A and B are shown apart, each in its own frame.
Chain A
Amino acid sequence: MVSPILIIALLLLFAFLMPLLGLLHKRLPAFATLILPAFNLYVAVTHFLKMDFIPVVIKTGGFRPPFGINLAVDHFSLFFLILVNAIGLFIAFSYLLEEQDYRFHTLFLLNLLGASGIILTGDLFNSFVFLEILAISSYALAGSRKEKHALEGAIKYLIIGSIGSSFYLLGVFILYKVTGTLNMADVALKLQNAKNGIVYLAGMFMLVGLFVEAELFPLNTWAPDVYQGAYNRIAVQFSSLISKSAIYLLFRITFLIFDDPLFYKLLLAFGLLTFIVAEFNALAQKDLKRMLGYSSIGQMGLTVLAFALYGMVSHPEAFFSAILLTVNHAIAKALLFANMDNMSENATIDVKGANPFSNLMFAIGALSVMGFPFTLGFWAKIEILGILLRSNLLVLFFLIILIFMVEAFYYFRVITNLFGGESVCRTLNPLLTLSLVIFSIFLVYQGFYPIFTFSWLNRALNALLNKAIYISIIAGGL
């Protein structure tokens, strides 16, 4: 068992050494980006299989929490760590042979560090620092391709993201002033039955910071431009890695600290708004990548909506469906965006087929996002509809069914165009093909036998729900 602190330490060490590796040989940085996600994945999986249900606290600086900073590792954080690093490995492996400057690989590693750090840390200010690392590397990656839309999206993202981060910091400051500590579990313990107005204000401020990264409605105007203009690997990163780590922090903080009906109502409203606006926008798009980008935003909105249903039904099923949606969306969207490499440049929605293989990949990814039977997405969406029916929220039920139909309409439009056209055989990148095949097989196989995903997900869910154990283990008391 390797200590998870090594994940962060080694990522940092290699990021600092990157200029030297770039000087030694042009190919070395790309291989370094391949080794580290694999190592992280190994650490995360071994911990996930061998750990008890009691969270493990890892001190830094030699002082116990709340005096020092700690990492809090439980099954919920490990689950997301596995997800994020699997996506990182997918990107690094698929594009191993691309010619890129060494600084690009440095930024990629630091992005992965920000995501892993957010997931591992158990400290509020530390989560802000990692959020900054994640955000700044994202700005630079979004503008990495000198293209009109990408640069416009990057500059919008830079401005919105900086302001959002400042708000997050202001929220953390207020919580520190109220409770006198920065440790998440400790803050939760002190606020358990003493919430006043200023704590709600802090919560709103922190949500503003997280909404930017998680691409939720009013703060996501940058996202479609970035998705349309950036390289495909960056689009995969935005849809499956950056937003997923922000969503993790949103889940954790909301459930641990601000566990309150008001917050769930707020999240429900914004999730629903995001979902409706983004899906109708996707219907109106002409550019295929921009359409996929809007679909990504819509799925993030649906995830937050599913999470916030907990406030209405008070049953952990809502969390279950939210996490399942997150996993499904990460994998399916990685498949779709990476597959855009096999299509023509600036493909529109009436694109005529590229070659049979990439058509099939697009179809599997799209079906899984839609929630078609025999794919993983089916289980996630049926779960949400089941919750809504059981708790008699019929208006919301029919609204969501309507939006699902809109989603199905614009995806099927593209799929019929793809399979209806003449196939043009393009050369395929062998590594990319291999990783696409692995992801698509996973999606279909889990659609038939979802036992594997469900069992791991349930362990993660139990760790999230055992708030009392988390707090009692970590919060030592002053």
Chain B
Amino acid sequence: MIRKIIYFLILIAFGFFVYSVFSAYFPFGENVLTGVARYYAEKGVKDLGGINIVTSIVTIYRGFDTLGEVTVLFLSVTALAFTLIGLKVEKVKPPKPTLIMETGGRYLAPLIILFGAYVFLHGHLTPGGGFPGGVIIATAFLLLFVTQEHFSPKKFHITITEVLAGAFYVLVGLLGLYYVKSFLGNFLKTGKPGYLVSAGIIPIIYILIGFKVGSETTSALKNLKEGSDEH
């Protein structure tokens, strides 16, 4: 008990220290764009043709980091599956879903998937993008896992989806290397800002990220529910 209080006091002191230092050096509310951020805000639309500048930054200007973050997600799911190998998951019999749950889940899931697809297709025009879209799709599968009694997607299908999405992402980067001499560079026309088919390779990358994130998260859910298997 006394140790917990001491830890809590240390945390409070550290938090106060960080807060006081930050508020001294970076006063709150100074919304002045400096450095590269200013360049992105001024030139982003002209350079790449995406209205959503955040998307342009995430996929092109800092695209290499995004590829890294997709890799981190893939890595975490792989590490989870690898750690679960050989650990027997206790088969807890969930209560039998009622008629309302089963029917509701069956009709809701396709609509949720459709919404997720909308979010990643319109990433360069409206808020959202590949990562939220992928997670929304995975929630549909979570709903199916919970509400359907015998629902279990085939492992092979999930694997093929994640392998192809990841591989095509790297291939798009390599095409950029071939055409504009720069990995993940934009090699398509930017088009008219505001239209669905515009902004070069941003929509393509976001479609791939959406598939990748959706399948990875679904794979993690499946592993947690049924345990991991060696093959």
Q: What residues of B have a CB within 8 angstroms of the CB of A62 in the complex? A: 60, 176, 180, 182, 184-186
Complex: A107 Cα to B35 Cα, angstroms: 37
Known contacts being A136-B76, A136-B79, is A63 close to B61, with CB within 8 Å? yes
**Shortest beta-carbon distance, A37 to chain B, in Å?**
18
Q: What residues of B have a CB within 8 angstroms of the CB of A412 in the complex? A: none
- The 8 A CB mask of B165-185 against A (1 = contact, 0 = none) is 011011101101100101111
Task: Tell me whether B82 and A60 are in contact (CB under 8 A).
Answer: no
Task: Answer whether residue A31 sits at the interface, using C-beta atoms and an 8 A cutoff.
Answer: no
Task: Answer whether residue B72 sits at the interface, using C-beta atoms and an 8 A cutoff.
Answer: yes
Known contacts being A19-B163, A20-B159, A181-B36, is A67 close to B71, with CB within 8 Å? no
Known contacts being A19-B163, A67-B39, A133-B72, is A12 close to B67, with CB within 8 Å? yes
Known contacts being A107-B75, A110-B75, is A67 close to B61, with CB within 8 Å? yes
Residues 88-121 of A at the B interface (beta carbon under 8 Å): 101-104, 106-107, 110, 113, 117
Task: Answer whether residue B224 sits at the interface, using C-beta atoms and an 8 A cutoff.
Answer: no
Task: Tell me whether B159 and A125 are in contact (CB under 8 A).
Answer: no
- The 8 A CB mask of B61-84 against A (1 = contact, 0 = none) is 111110111011011101101110
Known contacts being A3-B177, A62-B185, A478-B36, is A126 close to B72, with CB within 8 Å? no
Complex: A20 Cα to B81 Cα, angstroms: 16
Task: Tell me whether B68 and A130 are in contact (CB under 8 A).
Answer: yes
Task: Tell me whether B61 and A68 are in contact (CB under 8 A).
Answer: yes
- The 8 A CB mask of B147-170 against A (1 = contact, 0 = none) is 000000000100110110011011
Chain B count of residues within 8 A CB distance of the other chain? 54
Q: What residues of B have a CB within 8 angstroms of the CB of A143 in the complex? A: 83
Task: Answer whether residue A430 sits at the interface, using C-beta atoms and an 8 A cutoff.
Answer: no
Task: Answer whether residue B230 sits at the interface, using C-beta atoms and an 8 A cutoff.
Answer: yes
- The 8 A CB mask of B34-62 against A (1 = contact, 0 = none) is 11111110000001000000000000111
Q: What residues of A have a CB within 8 angstroms of the CB of B82 in the complex? A: 101, 103-104, 107, 140, 144
Complex: A22 Cα to B162 Cα, angstroms: 14
Q: Which residue, of A62, A113, A144, has the highest number of chain B Cβ atoms within 10 A?
A: A62
Task: Answer whether residue A201 sits at the interface, using C-beta atoms and an 8 A cutoff.
Answer: yes
Task: Tell me whether A181 and B35 are in contact (CB under 8 A).
Answer: yes
**Shortest beta-carbon distance, B134 to chain A, in Å?**
15
10 A–B contacts from the bound complex (CB under 8 Å): A16-B170, A23-B231, A61-B64, A68-B61, A68-B182, A69-B63, A110-B71, A125-B65, A136-B72, A178-B25
Residues of chain A touching chain B, judged by Cβ–Cβ distance below 8 Å, are 3, 5, 9, 12-13, 15-17, 19-20, 22-23, 58-63, 66-69, 101-104, 106-107, 110, 113, 117, 125-126, 129-130, 132-133, 136-137, 139-140, 143-144, 146, 177-182, 196-198, 201, 478
Residues of chain B touching chain A, judged by Cβ–Cβ distance below 8 Å, are 21, 25-26, 34-40, 47, 60-65, 67-69, 71-72, 74-76, 78-79, 81-83, 85-86, 156, 159-160, 162-163, 166-167, 169-171, 173-174, 176-177, 180, 182-186, 230-231
